[in-house]
Chain A
Amino acid sequence: MSRETPSGDADPMIKFIAVHKFFGALAALTDVNAEVKKGEVVVVCGPSGSGKSTLIRTVNRLEEIQSGSVLFEGKDVHAKLRGSALNHLRSRIGFVFQSFNLFPHLSALDNVMLSPMKVNGVKRSDARETALRLLDRVGLSAKAQNYPAQLSGGQQQRVAIARALAMEPPAMLFDEPTSALDPEMVGEVLSVMRRLARDGMTMMCVTHEMNFARDVADRVWFMDAGRVLETGAPGDFFRSPQHPRAQRFLSDLHTR
């Protein structure tokens, strides 16, 4: 599929520099150094407990770090920021949760409209227009007036993606977006994500969907025990992984 190649000379959009994180005495992230360039699609994979979700959550500071830095668009996310500065930073990072976390007291349309209006100060009519357009883009314009409890898991996740896109972020983070879905609904969410990637969105995805990684990713990061052990183009990674633990992870996947 044709896609704009990522601009390699611009500053990276997301950069991890010597990131360490502990949960008490447990080292969750150890010396992570990596970067995501503008327009790049990065898939982070690895066994459970490897720290993939923790890593992605440090980007918008849903998790704190003990040392190192995480830069987004050149700004240090974990610096001593004023509340409003952190809020502004977060509004520029789209985040899609494993458990969707749609707001149950609002319709799908209101879910998508709320944050542009209240955080970015967008006019109601403009927010509504954008929201309808985005719901159409994820294939759910017919469900605009429905409430989350009336939607299937796949539909809820697609609304969640639209909600994040409504803030017009330069980058989107996906934390295991399909892990909580029944198998037959995984495809509809992945196709939305594929289209986003094709349109040039900078994406960082934690996922177990290896076909998605093979087709769409520009780079694959393999993590285990809090470290990024190997990075590479998907073709190289899946054909001949270098690190022994990566080799074991892929062979475990194939024997399922």
Chain B
Amino acid sequence: MKGFDLMAVLLNPEFSRMLVHGVKMTFIIFIGSWLLAMSLGMILLAVRMLPGRIASGFVAIYVSYHRNVPTLVQLMLWYFGISSLLPGSVQMWLGDHNGEAVFAVVALGLCQAAYFSEDQRSGLRAVPRGQWEAARALGHSYVGAMTYILLPQAVRNAMPALVNHTVSLFKNSSLAMAIGVAELTHAVKEVENQSFRPFETYLIATIVYLVCSLLLMWLGHYLEQRSRMAGAV
């Protein structure tokens, strides 16, 4: 085995370019799918609260599907399966414009939306019923009560779970390599193949992921502290 030489990987222009590109793609996938998941999660929550069983039934099935089917399988179904159902012109366009990344963002975003909407729902359910009654008794409309009184508390309740699932989403970006997205884990395998230095390459990637995850967790913790209702336990 060759001696441990981190610099052989870091200083090599080709390898470092591939790794940096990998980090960039990881972040693009992460941020894209996070935005999709957050907004869709809130829409799902709003839909769930509509009267009638069809709306809440649909959301329940959506959540159940995305929580019981492995994320990797969901990615494959989108990239291999659903893409084949799309009209030819769309498939060609996707092929030219980084289709794998698009499918990765869509698949991961839709999957995490299920988790985010459940977190927000638990957060809302944790708000005592008396808050709703007090808001209505003061004359607030449904929308007003939600906006000023219920949702602010619901979001604070849901923050720990939302932060946890955000870190999960960040780690799940690595799954995109299975459909060919050149994110960090994919880049790591490529560099390892070419440099024959798996230990150093894996170590670099591990440190990047670890540092980013810890930063995300720290950021989440900071936001939780900032938004904590003063004096609350």
Contact = CB atoms under 8 A, between A and B. Distances in A.
Interface of A: 60, 62, 83-84, 87-93, 95, 97, 99, 101-105, 107, 114-115, 118-120, 146-150, 160, 163-164, 167
Contacts of B233: 149
B139 A114 contact: no
B151 to A, nearest CB: 10
Nearest to B141: A87
A199 B163 CA distance: 52
Contact of A90 (B128, B138, B232): B138
A103 B149 contact: yes
A165 to B, nearest CB: 11
Contacts of B153: 103-105
Given A105-B152, A105-B156, A119-B144, A62 B137 contact: yes
Contact of A93 (B134, B137, B156): B137
Contacts of B135: 103
Interface of B: 128, 130-131, 133-142, 144, 148-149, 152-153, 156, 229-233
Contact of A114 (B131, B137, B148, B229): B148
30 contacts: A62-B137, A83-B142, A84-B141, A87-B136, A87-B139, A87-B140, A87-B141, A88-B139, A89-B139, A90-B137, A91-B138, A93-B137, A95-B137, A97-B134, A97-B137, A101-B128, A101-B133, A102-B134, A103-B135, A105-B229, A118-B148, A146-B231, A147-B230, A148-B231, A149-B229, A149-B232, A150-B231, A160-B134, A163-B138, A167-B138
A64 B211 CA distance: 56
Contacts of A150: 230-231
B138 A83 contact: no
Contacts of B144: 118-119
A146 B231 CA distance: 9
A164 B152 CA distance: 21
Given A149-B232, A150-B230, A99 B139 contact: no
Given A93-B137, A101-B131, A163-B138, 5 more contacts: A62-B133, A62-B137, A97-B133, A104-B232, A119-B139
B136 A62 contact: yes
Given A62-B136, A114-B148, A103 B131 contact: yes
B22 to A, nearest CB: 41
A105 B152 CA distance: 7
Cβ-closest 10 pairs across A and B: A91-B139, A149-B231, A101-B134, A150-B231, A101-B130, A95-B137, A147-B230, A115-B138, A90-B139, A119-B139
A99 to B, nearest CB: 5
Contacts of A119: 138-140, 144
A149 B233 CA distance: 9
B140 to A, nearest CB: 6
Nearest to A99: B130
Nearest to B130: A101
Q: Select the residue from A87, A92, A104, A150 with max chain B CB neighbours within 10 A.
A: A104
Contacts of A167: 138-139
A97 B130 CA distance: 8
Contact of B137 (A60, A103, A107, A120): A60
Contacts of A163: 138
A84 to B, nearest CB: 7
A101 B128 CA distance: 9
Nearest to B156: A105
Q: Select the residue from B137, B152, B153 with max chain A CB neighbours within 10 A.
A: B137
Contacts of A99: 130
Contacts of B232: 104, 147, 149
A177 to B, nearest CB: 13
Contacts of A90: 136-139
A60 B232 CA distance: 31
Contacts of A146: 230-231
A164 to B, nearest CB: 7
Contact of A83 (B128, B133, B141): B141
A115 B131 CA distance: 13
Given A91-B139, A99-B130, A147 B229 contact: yes
